Amino acid sequence: MPEWRLISNEHVITYQGFIDVHKLYEFIDKWFKDHGYEVERLETEEQDLPEGRQVIIDYRAVKKLTDYAAVGIWTGIKAFNLKPATVEVHGHKLNVFKGKVSVSFKPWLITDVRERWQGIPLYYVLRSILEKVLFKSHNSRFKDIARRDLETVELEVKAFFNMKRFLQ
């Protein structure tokens, strides 16, 4: 089984106002696919509650860097108290929701993707030593790639939310 190492703490972006959660998901999904990530949806949950609709979408985006390593970004979209609203933009009426949305990202470094070092205990020990001595610079570079991608997608989502602020 591949080894997953957390690169940094969870990054959370929150927004309150008019939003189309489906377009937000499509926007983030397209960003990951355009940057070479494979996206796997883990959980989708939607509930109608008395205070409004609640939507939870969790998925994982993985970008293979080498035969040995990959980076992954776990993404969660949580929307609460969503109430239907109609907004007029340039003379056109749009059906959106008004509520609170939070988007969270967790970057991971995934090593031994092909699971070649797991079978024999000696291989596992050897892999640990090699990672600390020889592959330290490679792993550092892979972590930098994940951090850069995380920072870029965060800025893109913030810009997406900033555009939605003008709907008010």
Block mean pLDDT (10 aa), the chain, length 168: 80 92 93 95 91 93 87 95 86 88 94 62 65 67 91 94 66
Mapped onto helix, strand or coil, the DSSP state of residue 64 is: strand
Mapped onto helix, strand or coil, the DSSP state of residue 134 is: coil
Q: 10 Cβ partners below 8 Å, 6+ apart?
A: 104, 105, 106
Using alpha carbons, list the distances in angstroms from residue 7 to 59, 81, 121, 146, 148: 18, 32, 25, 8, 12
**What pLDDT does 2 receive?**
72
**What pLDDT does 81 receive?**
93
End-to-end CA separation in angstroms for the chain = 48
Using alpha carbons, list the distances in angstroms from residue 77 to 23, 141, 164: 12, 28, 16
Rounded CA-CA distance 45/55 in Å is 6
